[in-house]
Amino acid sequence: MHDGAFPCTVVRGVPVVTVPEEVDFTTAAQLAAALTATAGGHGRLVADMTRTRFCDLAALRALTAAHERARASGGGLVVVTSSPLVLRMLELTGLDLVIATFASLEMAMTGAGAGR
């Protein structure tokens, strides 16, 4: 699967959307579309933001909506990032209490080392 700037793959049966370096109001709709298209009936979904250095509230809204849809299917969205800015945005909005974050894709796949 592939959505232009948001490549989508499946790792161990879990859909993974790779998020680019920047996601803002001009690209948040693309992120939302990629997350929606990739989820396709899967309960669990990963947003790989390891390359992401900037995201705004529009991007966080897209993540929140994807998480809520995944929860309705019995799963949830998890975020992979070690970016201080992305982590800070999640913290400031309280999303760090709702969406689990992991430092690596491997940790997200095993559920080990959830820091938030």
CATH code, domain with 12: 3.30.750.24
Q: What is the pLDDT of residue 37?
A: 85
Q: What dihedral do alpha carbons 9, 75, 54, 114 form, nearest 10°?
A: -100
Residue 84 lies inside a defined structural domain of this protein: yes
What single string gives the DSSP state of each residue in 45-87? EEEE-SS--EE-HHHHHHHHHHHHHHHHTT-EEEEE---HHHH
Residue ranges making up the domain that contains 10: 2-110
- Record the pTM: 0.90
Residue 23 lies inside a defined structural domain of this protein: yes
Residue 74 lies inside a defined structural domain of this protein: yes
Q: What is the pLDDT of residue 43?
A: 76
Task: Return the HEC string of 88-111.
Answer: HHHHHHCHHHCCEEECCHHHHHHC
Query: Is the pLDDT reported for residue 2 higher than 80?
Result: no
Q: How many domains does the chain have?
A: 1
Residue 115 lies inside a defined structural domain of this protein: no
- What SS3 state is found at 1? coil
Residue 102 lies inside a defined structural domain of this protein: yes
Q: In this structure, what token pair is assigned to residue 93? A: 């909005």
